[in-house]
Structure 1
Amino acid sequence: MSGGKWGDLAPRVLSAVVMLAVGAAAIWAGGLWFKLLVIVAVAAMVWELARMTEAPGSVPALWLGGLGALAMTGIAFIPGFGKLALVLLPAIIGTFRPRRDAGVFAAYAIVILLTGLGLVVLREGFGLLVILWIVAVVVVSDVAGYFAGRILGGPKFWPAVSPKKTWSGTVAGWVGAALVGWAFHAAGHGGAGLVWLSPLVAFAGQLGDIAESAIKRRAGVKDSSNLIPGHGGVMDRFDALAFAVVAVLVLVNLVSVPVIGG
Structure 2
Amino acid sequence: MSGASWEDLGVRIGSGAAMIAVGLGAVWLGGDWFHVLIAVICGVMVWELVCMLDTGRTRSPYVLAGVAFVAALAAIELPPAFALPLLMFPSLLGLSRMERGEATFAIFAALILLAGYGMMDLRDDFGLVWMLWLVMVVVVTDVAGYFAGRAIGGPKLWPRVSPKKTWSGTVAGWAGAALVGLLFAKSTAAGYGLAGISVAVSMASQIGDIAESAIKRRAGVKDSSSLIPGHGGLMDRFDGMLGAALFIVIAGQIADFPPGAP
TM-score range, shorter chain: over 0.9
After superposition, give the CA deviation of every residue in 1:142-171 in whole Å (9 maximum; x if it has no partner).
100000000100000000111100000001
The residue number in structure 2 matching 1:107 is 107
CA distance in 2, matches of 1:65, 1:83: 18
The residue number in structure 2 matching 1:145 is 145
After superposition, give the CA deviation of every residue in 1:205-242 in whole Å (9 maximum; x if it has no partner).
00000000000011111110111111100000000001
Structure 2 length-normalised TM: 0.95
Percentage identity across paired residues of the two chains: 50
Check conservation: 2:130, 2:258, Cα contact below 8 A: no
The residue number in structure 2 matching 1:230 is 230
| Aligned partner of residue 157 in structure 2, secondary structure | strand
Shift of 1:172: 0.5
- Partner AA of 1:224 in structure 2: S
CA distance in 2, matches of 1:14, 1:55: 30
Structure 1 length-normalised TM: 0.95
Shift of 1:59: 6.2
The residue number in structure 2 matching 1:246 is 246
CA distance in 1, matches of 2:259, 2:27: 16
Cα distance, 1:59–1:85 mapped onto 2, change above 3 Å? farther
After superposition, give the CA deviation of every residue in 1:13-54 in whole Å (9 maximum; x if it has no partner).
111111111111111111010101011101100000011111
CA distance in 2, matches of 1:80, 1:103: 25
Shift of 1:58: 8.0
CA distance in 2, matches of 1:26, 1:5: 33
Q: Indicate whether 1:22 and 2:25 are aligned.
A: no
Q: Superposed, which structure 2 residues align to 1:1-262 within 5 Å?
A: 4-54=4-54, 56=56, 60-79=60-79, 81-188=81-188, 190-259=190-259
Shift of 1:261: 5.3
CA distance in 1, matches of 2:212, 2:193: 29
Cα distance, 1:235–1:214 mapped onto 2, change above 3 Å? same
Q: Which runs of no fewer than 5 residues in structure 1 stay unpaired? A: none
| Aligned partner of residue 78 in structure 1, secondary structure | coil
CA distance in 2, matches of 1:58, 1:189: 51
Q: Calculate the aligned-residue CA RMSD, in Å.
A: 1.9
Tell me the number of residue pairs that the alignment of Structure 1 and Structure 2 aligns: 262
Shift of 1:260: 5.5
CA distance in 2, matches of 1:161, 1:21: 31
Check conservation: 2:40, 2:69, Cα contact below 8 A: yes
Cα distance, 1:116–1:22 mapped onto 2, change above 3 Å? same
